[in-house]
Amino acid sequence: MALSQKSIEEVTASIPWINEVHFHEELPSTSEEARSLARAGATEGTVVVADCQSGGHGRKGRHWYSPAGVNLHMSVVLRPKVMPPERVPLITLMAGVAVCRGLQPLLGLRHARLKWPNDVQVEGRKLAGVLAEMSTTGNRIDYVVLGIGVNCNHPAGMWPPELAGQVTSLYEITGEVRPREQVIFQVLSHLGAAYNRLLRGETTECMESWKRLAATLGQRVSVRRGHDTLVGIARDIDTTGALVVEREDGTWETVTAGDVSLRPAE
Amino acid sequence: MRNPPTPGETMATEHPADPGLTNKDIRDLIRILSRTDVEELEVERSGTRVRLRRFGRTPPPPPAAAAPVPPAAAPPQAAVPPAAAPTEAPAAATPPSDGVTLGKGQEVVTSPIVGTFYRASAPDTPPFVEEGDQVKAGQTLCIIEAMKLMNEVEAEKSCRIVKVLLEDATPVEYGEPLFVIEA
């Protein structure tokens, strides 16, 4: 089922905060395109979708596998003008919650969960990811671009070797091929609602929603950072969304960036 | 951080290695303070005393929005005298400048959020800027990452990078100095 400008506009027409849709068969990266549109003045609610990406990336420039015809690669421009920059990182937790909730009705009896800060997983395998990029001048936020990747109709057993066993898709989970437009509608509807709550200052609600869906809290984790690895038990998130980890010696540390993996108890 | 010994004072005490309060201690205290509602905190160790006090806070948020509000007033480059004064140190309401001394016409670029400082977009790519580089307004200087939000910090004006103050992948606080620049 081929995505098109028209088919995406049809499903987003009923989502009031979506202002503009830009569909491309192929782009280097939907987030790069969205940032370039944002720099040129694109309004909040501008959406970029590509059928495939030649240079899709995740954290720290890592390649994001973006083949044609099966998955969703989408970026959205936000302009949270009233939000103090130090609260903006909560947007990425909020986005994780929205994607998780949006995909849940498509998953049957299987549950989507969040790995800190916003990977959507089903039974430990990654179904979707969110990467946010923000531009600020001094204390003013120019824009935030949310890049969202969802593994939709990718067949099981056909993943590249480096991803096999770590990722899954809606098709792999349910055996049903879904129109990607349906996934776009689900994600953007939930994203709009969650973003509005955050703009109204309902940060506690955002954090509580995240905690209810969290696969990470209470688990033994290792957090790979720039120069070291922190091992302990993930206890909580703080008011900025940072992960609070209790080390084996009983001391606590908050983490703002790193690769979290769950470790079975030894 | 330790005061130099006065003539005749012996360093060989029971705790010869106790440095009093280090820069890191003070940074940790600020981090703790910024995540609570405590207005003022005074700590003394080995003759070094530091008092931290918030000011310029916006009105307290409603309980439903209890995110910490870092001090909004006073740009961090406002002179923060060395915090190692033997008696009461000046209120460190802004993050410590960690001994950043600025020459004439120089200023610091500070972090807009709490996060992790990266000098490059990926581990195997060259840094955005090196010391001595001349940069244009709008050019990316570094990335601060928090919760997978990548914040590109851009130069607000054309300038020269005098000093890069932090190592790659270092945790940073709100308002912490990242670069010394000059026009």
Q: Is A207 in the B-facing interface, judged by CB distances under 8 Å?
A: no
CATH number, domain A5-213, options 3.40.50.2300, 3.40.50.2020, 3.30.930.10, 3.30.565.10: 3.30.930.10
> Cβ separation of A225 and B151 shorter than 8 Å?
no
How much is the average pLDDT of B138-153? Answer: 93
* Predicted local distance difference test score (pLDDT) of residue B12: 38
Put simply, the chain A residues between 27 and 86 with a CB less than 8 A from any chain B CB are: 59-62, 84-86
Long-range contacts of B74-80 (CB under 8 A, 24+ apart): B75/B110, B76/B108, B76/B110, B76/B175, B76/B176, B76/B177, B77/B102, B77/B107, B77/B108, B77/B110, B77/B177
Tell me the fold of A220-262. Answer: SH3 type barrels. (2.30.30)
**pLDDT tens per residue across span B118-137:** 999 888 899 999 999 999 99
Nearest by CB to residue B148, choosing from A131, A136, A240, is: A131
Q: Is B91 in the A-facing interface, judged by CB distances under 8 Å?
A: no
Domain ranges of chain A: 5-213, 220-262
Q: Which residues of B touch A226 (CB under 8 A)?
A: 116, 118, 168-170
**pLDDT tens per residue across span B163-175:** 999 999 999 998 8
**pLDDT tens per residue across span A170-214:** 999 999 999 999 999 999 999 999 999 999 999 999 999 999 999
What does each of the 266 residues of chain A score in pLDDT, given as a tens digit?
699 999 999 999 999 999 999 999 999 999 999 999 999 999 999 999 999 999 888 887 888 999 998 999 999 999 998 787 778 899 999 999 999 999 999 998 999 999 999 999 999 999 999 999 998 877 788 899 999 999 999 999 899 999 999 999 999 999 999 999 999 999 999 999 999 999 999 999 999 999 999 999 999 999 998 788 999 999 999 988 999 999 999 999 999 999 999 876 55
* Predicted local distance difference test score (pLDDT) of residue A84: 78
> Cβ separation of B147 and A118 shorter than 8 Å?
yes
- Choosing among B69, B94, B142, B148, which should be mutated to test the A contact, i.e. which has the most A CBs within 10 A? B148
How much is the average pLDDT of B76-88? Answer: 39
> Cβ separation of A86 and B70 shorter than 8 Å?
yes
Minimum Cα–Cα distance from A198: chain B residue: B65
ipTM of this complex: 0.91
pLDDT-derived band at B19 (thresholds 50, 70, 90) equals low
**pLDDT tens per residue across span B97-118:** 556 788 889 999 999 889 999 9
Task: Determine the Cα–Cα distance for residues A142 and B102; give it in Å rounded to an integer.
Answer: 29
Residue A252 has which token pair? 């606590």
Task: Determine the Cα–Cα distance for residues B23 and B99; give it in Å rounded to an integer.
Answer: 9
SS3 of residue B158 by DSSP: coil
* Closest among B173, B33, B26, B159 to B110, alpha carbons compared: B173
Write out the H or E segment, with its range, that includes residue A20.
strand A20-27
Q: Which spans in A28-153 are helix H?
A: 30-39, 90-103
> Cβ separation of B64 and A205 shorter than 8 Å?
yes
* Predicted local distance difference test score (pLDDT) of residue B82: 39
pLDDT-derived band at B86 (thresholds 50, 70, 90) equals very low
User: Against a cut of 0.80, is the pTM above it?
Assistant: no
* Predicted local distance difference test score (pLDDT) of residue A266: 52
